[in-house]
Structure 1
Amino acid sequence: MGKAKPQKRAGAHGSTPYERKPKAAASQNIFKYNKDFGQHILKNPGISDAIVDKAFLKSTDVVLEVGPGTGNITVRALEKAKKVIAIELDPRMGAEVTKRVQGTPLAKKLEVILGDVIKMPQLPPCDALISNTPYQISSPLIFKMLAMPTPPRVAVLMFQREFAKRLVAKPGDALYSRLSVNVNFWATTRHIMKVGKQNFNPPPKVESDVVRIEPKMGSARPNIAFEEFDGLLRIAFNRKNKTLRAAFGQKEVLAMCEKNYKLYCGLHNIPIDESIADDATAAAAAAAAEDVAMDVDDNADDGGDEDRDGMEVEEGEGWGGIDKDAEEEEEEDDDMPTFFKEMNNDTQTKDQKTPSRHPKSKVALVIRAKVNKVLANTELADKRARQCDETDFLKMLVAFNEEGIHFS
C-alpha cells in the first residue's frame, strides 16, 4: 500500500494574508534610475502642470523637451501643443515615454530623439522649450539655446536653486556672473517657483527652482555674434573681483588679441609691422606691462578679493594688506654694513639692464596700446566685472571691434 502524502504547512498554499509577495512585484520601479544622467523624476503632478501652464502653449506650437524621463511633463505638453520633440540620452527612458502614449491619439504628436543634446550640432527648431533639466547640463543647455539663430519664444526650465539665482542675478549681487550677463543680454528671465527635493524620485541632494526665460526676438535681439560677446565675458569674469585693466592686461589675453588682430588684418588686407621693437620701445612696453601685472585693487568697497579657486581673501590678509615683515626688513637695512648695501645695489642694477629673453614685436606693442585706449575711452578700466551690466560690456565690445580686436 502506498504512503499517504504529507500535508503541507498552513499558509504554504499562498491563501493566507501573510503570504510573501513575489520578488518581481516587490519593487515598483521598472528599472533603476541612473544618477550619472541626472535622473530625478518629478513625481508631483501639480508642479508638472505649472511648468506646462507657464509656457502658455498654443495649439500650433512645437515643443522641445530635454530629458523627458517617464513622461510626466511630456503627456501634459502633448495635450496642449501640436507636437513634442523629446531628446533623451537613456534608451530605457525613451522607450518608457513612447510606451506611455502608445495606442492613444497623443502618440502621433510625439517624436523621441535618442542622444546627447549637448553634442547635437544644433537644437531642433521649436516654439517652446521645457525641461526638468539634468543639473550637469544646465549651463551648456542655456548657451546652446541662446546661440540658436531663431531661439524658442519661451523656455520654462527647472534648475538647481543656486544656478537659478545666478540666472536672475543683477550687477553687484554675490552670484552675478558671466551667465547672468549673457542671459539678461539675450533674454529676460523671471523666477517662477521653488521646488523642494521631496517632489522627486529619487530625491536630489539640493533644492530646485523653476525659471521662465524669454529670448529677445526680432529687432530687440542684439545684432552681434553670441560667440564674440561671450568671449569678451570669459576674459572679464575670469577674475570678476579684479579690475578690467588687470583682466585684459594678462599675457595670455594680449597674445590672443594679437593673434585675432593679425587674422583681422589679413582678411581686410591691412599691412602690419611684425618686426622686433627697439630696446627703448621694448623697455617702455615692459614697464607698462609690469604696471598692469602689479595692479593691486583697493578692496575697501567689497571687503575681499577672489582668487582662481573662488576663495575669498579678507582685506589685509593678502593683496593690498600691510606686510609687517617688509617693515622689519627695512629696519634691519639700517644696520647692514655698507659693503653689502653696495653689492645689493649693483645686483639690482644689473638685473634691470638684463634684456628680455622674449623681445616684443611692434604689433604686440600696438595691441597693448589699443587695449589701453579702449579701457580709457570707455572709462571701464578701474571697474570690476561684477559691477558692470550688459550695456557696459556691449560698449566695450564695440570699442574693441572698432580697433580691429575680436574675441571669437
Structure 2
Amino acid sequence: MPKVLSKKRGEKAEKKEATSQSSAAAASRAFGPMFNKDLGQHILKNPLVAQGIVDKAFLRPTDTVLEIGPGTGNLTVKILEKCKKVIAVEMDPRLAAELTKRVHGTPDQRRLEIMIGDFMKAKLPYFDVCISNTPYQISSVLVFKLLEHRPLWRSSVLMFQREFALRLVAKPGDSLYCRLSVNVQLFAKVEHIMKVGKNNFRPPPQVESSVVRMEPRNPPPPVEFKEWDGLMRIVFGRKNKTISANFKTDTVEEMLENNYKTFCATHDRMIEDPLNIRAKIHGILERVGVAEERAAKMDQDDFLRLLVAFNEEGIHFC
C-alpha cells in the first residue's frame, strides 16, 4: 500500500474519533454539567427519593435549612417548598451557577442563599435542620462537625454509603458496632430511615446508599469528647478482645502513666512510690466489673461508668 494512502486513512480515523468524542461531550452537556469524580459528585435524580428525604425531615414553615452539596438543586427546590429559607453550601462553582439559574426569577430566589466553598472549612450559620447528599469520603468529619455546632439544631437528614450508615445505628453485639457507633450515639439519637439504590444517582456510585436522621441530645451529655474518644480508641482497638487485654499494652500503659503523673503534678496529689500503673488500671477494671468484658458487647452506660472510675483515680485519656 502506498505511504500516502496509508497516511490519509490514518488522518480520517483520527478525525472520526475526534468527532465521536466531541459528540459524546455535547450529549453529556445536554443532560447537565459534567460531574467531577474527584469531588465525589453523584446527583440524586429520582424525584420520589428526593421527596421522601424532604418528608422525613419534618420541616416547618419557619425553618432555616442548611443543605450541604445541593448539586443542581433537585433536593433544594423541594426543600424550599416547605421552609422559610435554605442556605446551600456547594464546593463546585459550576454547580452553584446551575442552581442559581434554576431559581432565578422565581419566588424562591430570595429565600435561597448559596455559600460557595468547602463545607469542612466553612463557618456554619444558624440553622434548624440540615439535609445533605455529600461526598462519602467526608462522612465521618461531616457528622462530627454537625454535632459540634452550636447552637444545637433540631435534626439532620443525611445520605451516606450504606455500610457507614449501618455503623452509625449499630447496637452492642452487631457486627458493625464500633467506636463510631458509640461516639455518635453518645451525642445524638440516630435512626436509619431509607435505603437508596445506585441507579437513583447520576452518575451511579459504586456502592449502595442509605439515609439516616440524627437528633442531637439536648442538653448534651456532660462529657469531654476528647477524653471519651481517648477511652474508646483503647477499648475498640481490638473490640473482640477483653477490656483488660486492650489495656495491657506498653503503649497504653505508658500513655496513661504519663497522664496520671501530669494530673497529680497539676493537682498537688501525691504519686505512689513505687507506682505500678498496670495494677492500678487492673484494679479499676475489676472494681467496675468490666475486666473480662468485650467492647463489642458493652453499651453507653458501661463506658460512662468506666470513664468516671478512671477519672476519679486521676487517670485521664487526653
Q: Any idea what SS the aligned residue of 2:316 has?
A: coil
The offset of 1:61, in angstroms, is 1.4
1:168 maps onto 2:204 in alignment: no
2:103 partner letter? V
Question: Greater CA radius of gyration, 1 or 2?
Answer: 1
8 Å contact from structure 1 (residues 131, 157) kept in 2: yes
Query: Corresponding residue for 1:359?
Result: none
- Where does 1:4-403 land on structure 2 (aligned, <5 Å)? 23=23, 26-27=27-28, 28-120=30-122, 123-218=124-219, 221-272=220-271, 362-363=274-275, 365=276, 367-403=277-313
User: Partners of 2:45 and 2:297 in 1: how far apart?
Assistant: 40
| Identical counterparts, % of pairs | 58
8 Å contact from structure 2 (residues 33, 95) kept in 1: no
CA offsets 1:119-147 (integer angstroms, 9 cap, x no match): 44x54332111111311111111122223
Instruction: Classify 1:270/1:135 alpha carbon distance in 2 versus 1 (closer, same or farther; 3 Å).
Output: same
User: Partners of 1:255 and 1:124 in 2: how far apart?
Assistant: 42
CA offsets 1:47-106 (integer angstroms, 9 cap, x no match): 111111111111221211111111111121122222222222222222222222122222
User: Partners of 1:197 and 1:254 in 2: how far apart?
Assistant: 46
User: Partners of 2:312 and 2:125 in 1: how far apart?
Assistant: 35
Q: Which runs of 5+ in 2 are unaligned?
A: 1-19
Instruction: Classify 1:261/1:87 alpha carbon distance in 2 versus 1 (closer, same or farther; 3 Å).
Output: farther
Q: Any idea what SS the aligned residue of 1:380 has?
A: coil
2:287 partner letter? N
CA offsets 1:284-317 (integer angstroms, 9 cap, x no match): xxxxxxxxxxxxxxxxxxxxxxxxxxxxxxxxxx
User: Partners of 2:116 and 2:311 in 1: how far apart?
Assistant: 41
The offset of 1:168, in angstroms, is 1.4
TM-score (norm 2): 0.86
8 Å contact from structure 1 (residues 123, 145) kept in 2: no
Instruction: Classify 1:95/1:380 alpha carbon distance in 2 versus 1 (closer, same or farther; 3 Å).
Output: same
2:109 partner letter? A
8 Å contact from structure 1 (residues 232, 397) kept in 2: yes
8 Å contact from structure 1 (residues 147, 226) kept in 2: no
The offset of 1:386, in angstroms, is 0.3
Count of paired positions: 296
Q: Any idea what SS the aligned residue of 2:70 has?
A: coil
1:73 partner letter? L
The offset of 1:25, in angstroms, is 5.3
TM-score (norm 1): 0.68
The offset of 1:151, in angstroms, is 3.0
